[in-house]
Every structure is written in structure tokens, then in C-alpha cells.
Amino acid sequence: MDNYKSVTTTTNTTPMTAKVSPAAKKTLLILNCILLSIGNCGGPLIMRLYVVHGGNRVWLSSFLQSAGLPFIVLVLVVLFFIRRKSNTKTTIIYMRPRLFFATAFIGIITGLDNYLYAYGLARLPISTSSLVIASQLGFTAFFAYILVKQKFTPYSINAVVLLIVGAGVLALHTSSDRPKGESKKEYMLGFVMTVGAALMYGFILPLIELTYNKAKQAITYTLVLEIQMVMCLFATIVCTVGMIVNNDFKVIPREATEFGLGETNYYTILCATALIWQCFFLGAIGVIFCASSLLSGIIIAVLLPVTEVLAVVFYKEKFQAEKGVALVLSLWGFASYFYGEYKSTKKPKDINESTKQSIELPLSDYSIV
């Protein structure tokens, strides 16, 4: 598998194509799409389940978003033994020190982002939180322009404006959406924290792309998993420090006994949360590896209304007119952004094909005898 090279969003990297049967590649793509769907829809729902039934440890929720890294370690071990069967001189760790320190820094930022997201989700309904998080696409476009010189198009500018307007519509109608027993100050702080999480995650994605570009080594599937493992490790360390400072480890046993669904279900929910979020990360990486980051983003965008519907069904959340407007604007923004990306990735292919034809046509004249 190490003959693969990961596909990144940059146009400067030419992916290496491995010899894999179309059926095997299609199967792997379908599997990763399922993982991504489970994580993208299930992650917010199960985190909200913890909050609804009495859980209020924000650092613990942050910790669980990256604490499933043993699952990645297990996948890496399996890949190692697969490589060892075909090659006795295989490498255990592919990551070089330069890439390790860069990834560790991104992991620290990810830990802080996890806290902002967990805090916002503890204060906002899932439907509102998901719509606010959708604004990260605008932040991603901005930071991509700064860090990796991503060019803006009318489509990306349109997407940024629509997402900002959508978030503004939600911000202007906060009183009717506030959960019972929560003050307006707490609700607004949760809203601000969620916007902060979207902003920070919008910074992390281009930063990862920049790290890939500056890695000075081939980005294989195994190396991508190692990068994800290191990011999760340092994100978990950050959240662990937060839990220690906040005395979460001392409170967890008491919170478990007082949990609305019982102590056993409490620990089951914690373990399931960690596993589901790893499904999201592995699914996103897998889709990028099998196809492209564009397809990964499209799947996440398509799943947005699914998460909205599930929140209304399972948690009886209200879906007011302003949420409907924000949802339409968000989907419109996603469609505009990805259509622009599709056109920009299609142009180089058209140019290459036309260039190839212009070179081959004169040669064909000389081949006639």
C-alpha cells in the first residue's frame, strides 16, 4: 500500500497511481464513505446525548474527539504485517522528524479546536451548531489563500458571502432556539465558541495541506495514518491537561452514578463517542486517498441536512424558519464552492488534452506512408 501517494487539494502535487483493480478500489471507497457518514452524523448526536442526560464536562467531551487513536494504531499494525508479508525489509515508522514536529503543532491546535466545538455543542442544539460549523468553508477559503496561495473565484467568494449571511441569520434569532434553563449569556457564548471552532478548523485544513507540501517526502497512505495518529495524540494530551486542571478525572465517577441513562450506559456512550469520531477521521482520509478531497467535502456537505433531520427526530429540536433559511444558504454556498472547485480542476485536464492533440496531430501526418 505504500506505493500510493495521497491526493491533496493543492495543484502542485501530482498523485502517483497504484495498480489496483477497479473493484477493490470501489469497495474501499464505499467502505470509507460509510465510515465518514457514521462519524459526520453520529459524532454530534452522541455528544449531545451525553449533555442531554446530565453530562457537563466540556474537557471530557473534547478529549473523546481524539481519544480513539488506539483504533488508528490498530490499523497501522495491520498494515505493517501486510507489508511485512510482501517485503521483509519494511519500515516501522515513515514519519521524519521535520514532519513530526509540524504535525504535533497541528495536533495542539486541534485539541483547542475540539474544546471550542465541545463547548458550543453543549450550549447549542445540534441543528444550530451544525449550521454554524458550516461557515468553516469560508474560513478555509480565506486561510487557504493566505497559506497555500489558493486563488479565489466568483464561486468561492459567493460561497463565503452566503455562509456568513447564513450564520448572521442564526445570530439574529437566538432567543427562540435557546434550550430550557440556559441563560442568554451562556447561549451566546456557545454561539461564539462554535464560530471560533469553525474558524480554527478552517485554519487547520490549509495548514495540513501546507505541511504536506513542505514535507519533503512521499505522502503514502500509511504516512497519512501516522500523521492522523500524531495529531490525535497531541490533541488528546492538550485535552488531558485541561481535564486535570478542571478536576474531571475526580468528577467522572460521580457523574457516571448520576447520569440519566445509568452508569453502564454512561461509560458506553464515552467509548462510542471516541470510536465514532475516529470513524469520521478515517473515513475522510480514506475518501481523499481513494478519490479526492473534493469528494470528501461533497459527502460532508450532503450529510448536513441528514444531521439536521436526525437532530429533530431524536432530540425533538425546533426547526424554525430562520434555520431553514440558514440551511438553504449553507447548501447553496457548498454547491457554489464545490462547483467552482470542479471547474478549476477540470480546466487543467482540458488544457492537457488540447496540448496533447496539438502535438499528436502533426505526428499523425508523418506516420502515413
Domain coordinates in residue numbering, the chain: 38-345
Give residue 267's pLDDT band: very low, low, confident or very high (50, 70, 90): very high
Q: How does DSSP assign 128-146, residue by residue?
A: HHHHHHTTHHHHHHHHHHH
Whether the Cβ atoms of residue 86 and residue 97 lie closer than 8 Å to each other:
no
Residues in the chain: 369
Give residue 266's pLDDT band: very low, low, confident or very high (50, 70, 90): very high
Closest CA to 267 of 255, 279, 281, 250: 255
Crossing angle for the helix pair 126-133 and 22-52, nearest 10 degrees? 130
The predicted pLDDT at position 63 comes to 94
pLDDT in tens, 32-84: 889 888 988 898 899 889 988 888 899 999 999 999 888 888 888 888 888 88
The mean pLDDT of 2-25, rounded to a whole number, is: 46
Please, what is the average pLDDT of the chain? 77
Whether the Cβ atoms of residue 159 and residue 336 lie closer than 8 Å to each other:
yes
Whether the Cβ atoms of residue 221 and residue 4 lie closer than 8 Å to each other:
yes
The mean pLDDT of 337-351, rounded to a whole number, is: 65
Q: Is the pLDDT higher at 118 or at 205?
A: 118
Percentage of residues of the chain with pLDDT beyond 70:
75
Which three cell numbers, joined as nine digits, stand for 263?
Answer: 452508569
The predicted pLDDT at position 219 comes to 74
Residue 348 pLDDT greater than 60, yes or no: no
Which three cell numbers, joined as nine digits, stand for 38?
Answer: 457514521
Residue 112 pLDDT greater than 60, yes or no: yes
The mean pLDDT of 126-136, rounded to a whole number, is: 76
The predicted pLDDT at position 91 comes to 80
Evaluate the CA torsion angle 207, 210, 214, 216 in order and state its sign: positive
Which value, to the nearest 10 degrees, does the dihedral of the CA atoms of residues 157, 161, 163, 167 take? Answer: 160
Q: Is the pLDDT higher at 184 or at 119?
A: 119
Alpha helices of 124-261 — where are they, by DSSP H? 126-133, 136-147, 154-172, 184-213, 221-245, 248-258
The mean pLDDT of 213-232, rounded to a whole number, is: 84
Radius of gyration of the chain (CA): 22
What pTM value is reported for the model? 0.77
